[in-house]
Structure 1
Amino acid sequence: MNVSADFLPEVSAEGGVTTGEVARLLGVAPTTLRSWDRRYGIGPAARQGGRHRRWTAADVDVLRTMCRLTSAGTPPAEAARAARAGVDPPAGRVSRAPGPLPLGRARQECRGLARAAVRLDSQAMDEQLTAVLDRYGLPAAWDEVMMPTLHSVGRKWETAGERYIEVEHLLSWHVSGALRKVSPRRPPVVGAGLSLLACAPGESHTLALEALAATLVQQALPVRMFGAALPADALEEAVRRTGPDAVVLWAQSRATADRALVARVEAIEWGVRGARRRPAVLVAGPGWTGRQPPETRHPCGLTEAFAALAAVGSR
């Protein structure tokens, strides 16, 4: 988060502002500031009475650099050395070609995004999500940065007595927003078939399906995304009205993976007599594991799902 020293409260005669005031301005927990001071020497130059921390504008500038570098995934010790010296660490050479991220780079991007999420730093999350999408494209950004970070944050609150639910919700919101901002990277594909994407009735987890929708948008392939918990009757009506080449039905849990609904959608017909068509139905998500109907495709992962839809649409 970029916070200018101009926004600091007026520096008092005692030599600065308190840790609590700085924490609120930077969006960093006071315990994090104290930890950085203890471990890396990123602390105030002056202490009132030898004990109480008083932060000056110069101290806050060092903190701002520390926040920016750790948000970008720089290890804290390295970020602290650079912040104290007033320089950025040397950047590694990163390819801008779409595809898998180098392992070390992917881990660094995940760490940076997770740290920004834990700090509830919306600006840093938006900047990092935009950067990974621009640099790597979909689906690499999803498979190797967004999804692993979401999973790690989810595991964090599951093992911490629900202390980090707000972190997961905020991160999910910003990932969703970044995916909706994706724009086509090529001219529209002439004659490409339409894909209809929907969550099964009762299913509220949409992010993976949003990533698939964004991938289709990026490749200029037509898509209709209906989101969470689409009622069965509404799904059938949407299929009849749009005549899609393919329907993807997402289920996160076994409780929402409805095999009967798949059969109903596969049976829908449209078109003139003698040339009627039916959609290809793909089931996606962990809820279908071991439950997908016979001969119904169950792609594993974003890359496989996109390839399957591109193949169906080009028939």
Structure 2
Amino acid sequence: MSALTGNGEQGDGERVPPGGGLTTGEVARRLGVAPTTVRTWDRRYGLGPEDRTGGRHRRWTAGDVARLERMCALTATGLPPAEAARLARGEEPPPPTPERRAPARETAAGSRRPPARSRAGSGLRLGDVRQECKGIARAALRLDAAALDRLLLAAITDHGLVAAWTEVIVPTLQAVGRKWESSGERYVEVEHFLSWHVSGALRRTTPATVADRPGATTVLACVPGENHTLPLEVLSAALTERGVPVRMFGGALPVESLVAAVRRTGPAAVGLWAQSRTTASRPLAQHVAGMEWGVRGARRRPVVLTLGPGWAGQTVAGLARPAGLAEAVAALESVVAR
């Protein structure tokens, strides 16, 4: 039971209803969602408590909470909220009628096609994406940790790491990014929450490390000033999954530390990630590519890959710039195989 404040209210400011039952704040904490989400489901979809204490105070019974748990589970699969609410209330879905079908759109060639799926039912513009994106987006917006973990692990298991990242996780991250950019810096917590859980899912679905093989190690690091590590974490997980030894150094590695890491590991390849053009450094990439080690007459150099959108327009002669995760994995596997 949550502690009460001195004025007979919950810590979240909601008055405790007499006669037992749960307050909206307690229900929200139990479900792992925001109290505003619970109130919205009550107001918009009729999923409120059967008993009220007078005024607007709500008292939620076990049956009321069970309906909300059903609502959470259904929306987490990508089902539209209105349809999920009908099922949560135990209602049969209405039969399809011609009036309910969305009109087809004309293409440039005059052919007709169904309209693109453009929203997640939560204000996120996702476009024509896999169904899993919608469930993940809703779970992230609700800050529903349990549902988000379950959906991310299912996507990776069902599609494989590379396809799950490219076709499910990236479109959802991009939609969240567009949301906060257009909302006056709101929803930043959603992006951080989603990124953290993606990182956790990667660790749970891939081996921790691969034993070193001389001359086969890949070094991965963000360039100085760059802290966007998630794409490198995915690349590291994909390489580890394929048996490639990886040394991951994460965000904003100082120049002297990067040079020391390369000299100490003698890697076959080095991947340098830059999210922003302001952090991508052509001289740094060229310097790493020119480093040598080993005995005289048999010196070796690393193959350097410039990774991330920050390198757009910063092409470094002689260095590969893979277009995406699959291309980067293939390139690094090829280098290690040689």
Q: Same fold (TM over 0.5)?
A: yes
**Is 1:194–2:199 an aligned residue pair?**
no
Residue in structure 2 matched with residue 39 of structure 1 by the alignment = 44
2:161 match: secondary structure:
coil
Residues 183 and 27 of structure 1: CA distance in aligned 2, closer, same or farther (over 3 Å): closer
Q: Map 1:1-315 onto structure 2 (within 5 A).
A: 16-49=21-54, 52-85=57-90, 107-184=130-207, 193-315=216-338
CA shift, 1:291, in A, is 0.5
Residues 115 and 157 of structure 1: CA distance in aligned 2, closer, same or farther (over 3 Å): same
Distance in 1, Cα, partners of 2:91 & 2:72? 13
What CA deviation, in whole Å up to 9, does each residue of 1:62-102 have, x standing for no partner? 00110122123222122222222299xxxxxxxxxxxxxxx
2:220 match: secondary structure:
strand
CA shift, 1:246, in A, is 0.7
CA shift, 1:192, in A, is 7.7
Residues 73 and 105 of structure 1: CA distance in aligned 2, closer, same or farther (over 3 Å): farther
Does the 8 Å contact 1:184/1:219 carry over to 2? no
Unaligned runs of 5+ in 1: 1-10, 88-102
Structure with larger RCO (C-alpha < 8 A, sep 6+): 1
Residues 223 and 136 of structure 1: CA distance in aligned 2, closer, same or farther (over 3 Å): same
Does the 8 Å contact 1:192/1:221 carry over to 2? no
Distance in 1, Cα, partners of 2:88 & 2:143? 21
TM-score, normalised to structure 2's length? 0.78
Distance in 1, Cα, partners of 2:28 & 2:243? 44
Q: For 1:270, give the aligned amino acid.
A: W
Residue in structure 1 matched with residue 99 of structure 2 by the alignment = none
What CA deviation, in whole Å up to 9, does each residue of 1:5-27 have, x standing for no partner? xxxxxx97657433333223323
Residues 289 and 105 of structure 1: CA distance in aligned 2, closer, same or farther (over 3 Å): closer
Does the 8 Å contact 1:259/1:291 carry over to 2? yes
Residues 16 and 292 of structure 1: CA distance in aligned 2, closer, same or farther (over 3 Å): same
TM-score, normalised to structure 1's length? 0.83
Deviates more, 1:240-249 or 1:126-135: 126-135
Higher-helix-fraction structure: 1
Q: Cα RMSD over matched residues?
A: 2.7
CA shift, 1:190, in A, is 7.4
What CA deviation, in whole Å up to 9, does each residue of 1:250-288 have, x standing for no partner? 111111111111111111111221111111101011110
What CA deviation, in whole Å up to 9, does each residue of 1:159-199 have, x standing for no partner? 212221111112111111222233259x9797782211010
Unaligned runs of 5+ in 2: 1-15, 93-125
Does the 8 Å contact 1:246/1:279 carry over to 2? yes
1:269 match: secondary structure:
coil
Does the 8 Å contact 2:222/2:252 carry over to 1? yes
CA shift, 1:30, in A, is 3.3
What CA deviation, in whole Å up to 9, does each residue of 1:288-312 have, x standing for no partner? 0011211211101100100110111
CA shift, 1:109, in A, is 1.3
Does the 8 Å contact 1:192/1:314 carry over to 2? no
Does the 8 Å contact 1:184/1:220 carry over to 2? no
CA shift, 1:201, in A, is 0.8
Residues 104 and 220 of structure 1: CA distance in aligned 2, closer, same or farther (over 3 Å): farther
Size of the alignment, in residue pairs? 289
Residues 284 and 126 of structure 1: CA distance in aligned 2, closer, same or farther (over 3 Å): same
1:254 match: secondary structure:
coil
Q: For 1:46, give the aligned amino acid.
A: D
